[in-house]
Amino acid sequence: MERGEERRRSVSEAATVGDRSTILRTETLTKRFGGTTAVDDVSLSIDAGEFFALVGPSGCGKTTTLRMLAGLERPTAGRVEIAGRNVAGRPASDRDTNLVFQDLVLFTHMTVAGNVAYGLARDGVPRAERRSRAAEMLATVGLEGFGDRDPAALSGGQKQRVALARALVNEPAVLLLDEPLSSLDRKLRAEMRAELRRIQDDVGTTFLYVTHDQESAMSMSDRVAVMRAGRIVESGPPESLYGHPQTAFVADFLGNANLLSGRVHGQRAGAVVVDAAGGRFPAAVGEGRTPPASGADATVMIRPENLRLRGDTFAGTVRDIGYMGAHREYAVALDSGPTLQVRSGDNGDGVTVGDAVGLGVAAAAVVGAGADG
Amino acid sequence: MRGSTDRLPWPIPNGPDQRRTLVDVVLAALPTALAVALGVVPLLSLVVESVSPPVTLSNYAALSESVYLTVLVRSLGIGVVITGACLAIAYPVTYWLAHACPPRYRLPVLVSFTLPLWLNYVVLNYTWVWILATDGIVNTVLTAGGVVDRPLDLLRTASGAGIGPIELPGPSLGLGFVHIYLPYVLLTMYVSMERLDYRQVEAARDLGAGSLRVFVDIVVPETYAGAIAGTLIVYARIAGAFATPQILASPSEQMIAQIITTQFYDVLDYPFAAALSVVFLLVVVVGFGIGALSTDVRAELKRW
Amino acid sequence: MVKTVGRNSERSGATDRLRRGAAAAVRGGFFRITVVATALFLYLPVVVVGYLSLSPGSQPSIPLDGATLRWYVAVLSDARFVRGLVTSGVIGVVAAVTGTGLGLLAARTIVRARLPRWLRAFVGVVVAIPLFIPTVVVALGIGITAGQVGLGFGLWPVVAGHLYWVLPFSTFLIASRYATIDGRMTEVARDLGADGITTFRTITLPQLWPALVASVLFAFALSFNEFLLTFFLAGSGMTTMPLEIYGKVRIGATSFLNAASVLVLLFSGAVAAVAASLEPPT
């Protein structure tokens, strides 16, 4: 009982006393295991109600970060502020976060309702209220009437929903999700992504979603942070990260990217004109960033879907065609040397391997243009 | 290494983790204290007792009398023979149970084969008296059927046969031992057999291997470590058995536990009983050592 | 066996198939005979004693000339034997319950405790001593130590000895179940606000329950039937069921003893069977 009240009070305090909209903030969060640094100086700030994704290749430290936020791993140093309170040294039972585990880890010796009501019981909620709130939460996640089932008898998607309901029911300030969709097949995963979004809109809880799957991260989140080797490389809205990455790593990690080195030829509004791989084309700089000076070296990114098999920016020869169903992927070796990936939904190209083609650039972006002005 | 922890801002002390470790230590201490008080301390006091009064090796010197050596060698030999017999039975039985038995019968059969583990071994030994006595079941059937003229001496008779220093136990002693210890061997062998990947056997069959070849090339190499680990325990039990030889052995088949018990119970020579025990224990430990030389066997023992 | 032949038949010629079929049949027969013979070997002696316990006379003659339950009545009205039975039962309950409690602590230490590996291994080895060391050595050691510390012989040394004797069985039975519990469940519970004790009560204990009950039953059966330790530690002031039976076996085989044996076997067998149904072997 006491803890529940304290928890609610701390949330309201945060709304008034703390930073107006920040619900979770870390500063210089660091974790070392022996001599290796798993998480290195991570500073994050997540707004209340946000759907935030932390994405990176496996072993980049994202799960360790999440476990430190949950209180299951002790940071070596740093601050973790949740709803305005520094909880860095506090155990998991004493912080206002709940974690949905990668393998869900449902309590197999309890019913579905028993699982969902578990956190309420720990908060000292009376039995009758536990039952009604658990039923309500099950309805929210689309499992109305499943309360008496045995978790082992549920399908993969249903288990996901139970794990979600169990973690949401006692209204945590932040819900932490550790790749909960990774065990689902492709189709179900897409379905659950939409469901996660809907549920998040429904309950309004802040979601911090950790994954190595950039597609999941971008499709669901308001903001994405990309992690590499224990550090956060870049963060921002998915469109901005995908369209205007500041590093080659992020450009490549978030999707297929043709990266070319070139030289700035001249300036335009919000863009520069670049000479690269024997072609001259405009490349966007990105909002709020300083364009590189004329004559400077620059790395340019062109997404495969932004290259056309018609045009005269580049000239080359088709080396390979991959049929992907909805589109085709071409490997085009430029006369100037590099090979570019081109994606085209146009089935009537009539282009075959060995054909000489001209390529047009629909959109390109300068990578790492003068970070943040 | 990137510089020490204390130079990072907001270092976090190891508070709750240390408290959890303390709880773990306290909880571990209770069973460990009991085991040390009743296991380690008695073994040490046996050693102390065996060199008393004050400090003497005379108890060990007395051991060199040939009668004690004979009994020790006999006990170890019987341990080897019975363990071998149990293994010979357990191999086909557990192989069938793990790989040929219809799955729904597997557990009931295994349970019924291992149930005698929890029964009274004095009683189980006693049942053989009625089977093998001169007026017991076997002799009644044999004489009634005209197979023999006079009842056979099966109960408490030495076999008189042997291989080198190893004596073969008489019929009642042998059967009584196998009856009690076979369930242990069946249980441990079953665990190994279950882990044997049956597809290996199928692959060997498919390549034209006969039953014997499959057994020698696949089954034994895949299961021997588990077999040895399991039988080491049984071996020590058999060599140190007291009740079974008391009930089923001929007077000429005395075993080491009987002598130790007599020294303790009737002669009241504790130091000599202790010296006998220490020597016997050392021999058994050396046996374990030889068995555990193989890393496979060590891994199996760790599983226990 | 049939399965194997069927598969091979696609590949081999007719003669080969016949030869292998015959081999498989012989193989199947050999295994089945061994299994049936083993079952008979284990249980036939018990059946024989059960049959002989119905003898009208105190010395059964084969075949029996009639059947009666009078020896069962005699056993259950024999004051000394019943006293031994009750003593064994009480010792068994104390050893089983305490042993299971300590076994739970030892199992937790071996499987889950956040202690150095060598320390957990040490606990495992110390607890396992009575499994590997000949019982007569353990019994003599405890007997001599009890004398040295002034405990002498009697009930307390017997209880302590039995407790130690059942500890490894309880520990390893519970440990094998403990190891199957997903360790992350306790993390989930902590994350949802449970402290250490609550986590144990609501997550670990309910899942260990069958193993704990099985451990109590198995440990009871072990202690109830244990003879050698008691023989060394009891002294002259007390008696237990196995001591009583052993004493009578030394005097000679009788119908009384047969009936007592059947009762003891049935009781222990029932306890162990219930335990095995809760926590199957292996």
Q: Which residue of A has its CA nearest to C208?
A: A109
Within 8 A of C189 by CB-CB distance, chain A residues are 118, 122
Q: Are A59 and A39 in contact (CB under 8 A)?
A: no
Weakest-pLDDT range from A8-12, A38-42, B21-25, C131-135: A8-12
pLDDT of residue C88: 97
The yes-or-no verdict on residue B208 having pLDDT over 60 is: yes
Other Cβ atoms within 10 Å of A346 Cβ, number = 12
Contact B95 C132 (CB under 8 A): no
Q: Please report the DSSP string for A70-120 in residue order.
A: HTSS--SEEEEEETTEE-TTS-GGGSSEEEE-TT----TTS-HHHHHHHHH
The predicted structure's pLDDT at residue A14:
41
Q: What is the pLDDT of residue C5?
A: 41
Please give the residue of chain B at the shortest CA–CA distance from C47. Answer: B127
pTM equals 0.85
Q: Return the pLDDT at C19.
A: 64
> Does the beta carbon of A97 lie under 8 angstroms from any beta carbon of chain C?
yes
Asked whether residue A288 carries a pLDDT value surpassing 50, the answer given is yes
* B145 near A CB under 8 A: no
pLDDT for A9 beyond 50: no
| H/E run at residue A25 | strand A22-33
The tens digit of pLDDT for each residue in A88-126 reads: 888 888 889 999 998 889 999 999 999 999 999 999 999
Contact list, C173 vs chain B (CB under 8 Å):
none
Confidence of residue A11 (pLDDT cuts 50, 70, 90): very low
- The mean per-residue pLDDT over the stretch A191-218 comes to 93
Cα–Cα nearest to B93, from A238, A307, C42: C42
Q: What is the mean pLDDT of residues A189-197?
A: 91
| Backbone φ and ψ of C48, nearest 5° | -60, -45
Contact between chains at C265 and B119 (C-beta distance less than 8 A): yes
Residue % of chain C over a pLDDT of 90: 71
Rounded CA separation C75/C60 (Å): 16
* pLDDT single digits (tens) C45-98: 999 999 999 999 888 887 888 899 999 999 999 999 999 999 999 999 999 999
Burial of B282 (0-12, 13-18, 19+ CB in 10 A): exposed
Helix/strand/coil for A266: strand
Residue B280 has what pLDDT? 95
Structure tokens at A32: 């070392």
Q: How far apart are CA A232 and CA A241, in angstroms?
A: 13
pLDDT at A232 > cutoff 90:
yes
* The pLDDT of residue C27: 66
Between A8 and B49, the higher pLDDT residue = B49
Q: Tell me the chain A residues in contact with residue C200 when contact means C-beta distances shorter than 8 Å.
A: none
Phi, psi of B15 (to 5 degrees): -50, -80
State yes or no: pLDDT of A8 exceeds 60. no
Other CB atoms within 10 Å distance of the CB of residue A354: 8
User: What is the architecture, at CATH level 2, of domain C76-278?
Assistant: Orthogonal Bundle (1.10)
pLDDT for residue C12: 47
Instruction: Say which range, A341-345, B17-21, C206-210, C258-262, has the weakest mean pLDDT.
Output: B17-21
What's the gap in Å between the CA of A105 and the closest CA on chain C?
6
Q: What is the pLDDT of residue C23?
A: 63
Q: Are B55 and B239 in contact (CB under 8 A)?
A: no
Of B2, B8, B12, which is closest to A89 when you measure between CB atoms? B12
Query: What contacts B58, CB < 8 A, 6 or more positions away?
Result: none
Q: Is A32 on the interface with B (CB under 8 A)?
A: yes
pLDDT reported for residue A347: 62
Distances (CA, A) of A35 to A31, A62, B1, B17: 10, 18, 5, 20
Q: What angle do CA C74, C80, C86 make, to 5 degrees?
A: 100
Whether residue A332 contacts residue A340, with contact meaning beta carbons closer than 8 Å, is answered with yes
The reported pLDDT for the residue numbered A5 is 42
Q: How far is B150 from chain C (nearest CA, A)?
A: 16
Rounded distance, CA B49 to CA A134, Å?
67
Q: Do B10 and A37 touch (CB under 8 A)?
A: no
* Consecutive H or E run containing A23: strand A22-33
Q: What share of chain C is helix, strand, coil (3-state, %, to 5)?
A: 80, 0, 20
A122, C194: Cβ pair inside 8 Å? yes
**How do the domains of chain C map onto residue ranges?**
1-47, 76-278
The mean per-residue pLDDT over the stretch A76-99 comes to 91
pLDDT of B124 reads: 94
pLDDT value for C20: 62
Evaluate if residue A216 carries a pLDDT over 70.
yes
Interface membership of A101 toward C (CB under 8 Å): yes
Question: Which 3 state secondary structure label does DSSP give B167?
Answer: strand
Please give the full DSSP string across C21-32, using - where no structure is assigned. HHHHHHHHHHHH
If you measure CA to CA, which chain A residue comes closest to C183? A105
pLDDT interval class at A2 (50, 70, 90): very low
pLDDT over 80 (residue A338)? yes
- Is pLDDT larger for residue A164 or for residue B202? A164
How far is CA B34 from each of CA A351, C29, C109, C126, C169, rounded to the nearest angstrom? 82, 50, 14, 10, 15
> Number of residue pairs across B and C with CB atoms under 8 Å?
284
Candidates C178, C181, C192, partner chain A, best to mutate (most A CBs within 10 A): C192
Q: Which residues of chain B from 252 to 281 reach within 8 Å of chain C, CB to CB?
A: 256-257, 260-261, 264, 270, 273-274, 277, 280-281
Distance from the Cα of C197 to chain A's closest Cα (Å) equals 12
Which of A29, A31, A32 would best serve as a mutation to test chain B binding (most B beta carbons within 10 A)? A32
User: How far is B258 from A202, CA to CA, in rounded Å?
Assistant: 79
Instruction: Suggest the residue from C47, C136, C178, C279 to mutate for an interface test with chain B (most B CBs closer than 10 A).
Output: C136
Note whether A72 contacts C: Cβ–Cβ < 8 A: yes
- pLDDT over 50 at A218, yes or no: yes
The chains found to touch C (3+ Cβ pairs under 8 angstroms) are A, B
Confidence of residue C42 (pLDDT cuts 50, 70, 90): very high
Q: Count of CB contacts below 8 A, A vs B?
A: 35
Which one-letter DSSP state was computed for residue A61?
S
Q: Provide the chain A residues 242-261 that lie in CB contact (below 8 A) with chain C.
A: none
Q: What is the DSSP letter of C226?
A: -
Q: Which residue has the higher pLDDT, A135 or C114?
A: A135
Using alpha carbons, select from A364, A363, A278, A358 the residue that is nearest to residue A318.
A358
**What is the tens place of the pLDDT at every residue in C234-248?**
988 899 999 999 999
User: Choosing among B38, B47, B247, which should be mutated to test the C contact, i.e. which has the most C CBs within 10 A?
Assistant: B38
- Classified as helix, coil or strand, C146 is helix
Q: How confident is the model at residue B16 (pLDDT cuts 50, 70, 90)?
A: low
Q: Could you give phi then psi for residue C38, rounded to 5 degrees?
A: -65, -45
pLDDT of C26 strictly over 70: no
Please tell me the predicted confidence (pLDDT) of residue B303.
Answer: 61
Residue A280 β-bridge partners: A275
Inform me whether the pLDDT recorded for A184 exceeds 50: yes
So what's the pLDDT on residue A15?
42
Average pLDDT score over chain A? 88
Model confidence band, residue A314 (pLDDT cutoffs 50, 70, 90):
very high
Are residues B119 and C268, on separate chains, in Cβ contact within 8 Å? yes
Q: Who's near A225: CB < 8 A, 6+ residues apart?
A: A44, A52, A53, A54, A55, A232, A234, A235
Does the pLDDT at position B301 exceed 80?
A: no
Asked if residue A372 has pLDDT above 60, the reply is no
The verdict on ipTM greater than 0.85 is yes
- Residue C176 CB partners (closer than 8 Å, separation 6+): C211
For residue A52, the cross-strand partners are: A208, A223
Q: For B295, what's the count of Cα atoms within 13 Å in the CB-facing half-sphere?
A: 0
Q: Which of A31, A16, A7 is nearest to A82 (CA)?
A: A7
Give me A299's structure tokens. Answer: 């790395």
pLDDT of A43 reads 94
CATH for B79-251, among 3.30.530.20, 1.10.10.10, 3.40.50.300, 1.10.3720.10? 1.10.3720.10
Q: How far is CA C73 from the centre of its chain?
A: 27
CA atoms of B249 and B170, how far apart (whole Å): 7
- Whether residue B138 has pLDDT greater than 80: yes
Chains touching chain A through at least 3 C-beta pairs below 8 angstroms are B, C
* CA gap C110, C117 in Å, rounded: 9
pLDDT at residue A18 in the model: 43
Neighbours of A307 (CB within 10 A): 24
Select from A74, A77, A91 the Cβ nearest to the Cβ of B8. Answer: A77
Confidence tier at C218 by pLDDT (50, 70, 90):
very high
Nearest to C127 among B31, B96, B240 (CB): B31
Alpha carbons C249 and B123: distance in angstroms, whole number:
9
- Please judge whether B8 and A76 are an interchain contact, meaning their C-beta atoms are less than 8 angstroms apart: yes
Show which of residues 160-219 on chain C sit within 8 Å of chain A, judged by CB atoms. Answer: 182, 184-185, 187-195, 198, 202-203, 206-207
State the pLDDT confidence band at A47, using cuts at 50, 70 and 90: very high
CB-based contact C191:A169 (threshold 8 Å): no
CATH 1.10.3720.10 domain position(s) in chain B: 79-251
Q: Does A166 sit within 8 Å of C191, measured CB to CB?
A: no
- Region A150-162: what's the mean pLDDT? 93
Greater pLDDT, A153 or B206: A153
**What gap in Å lies between CA C271 and CA C87, rounded to an integer?**
17
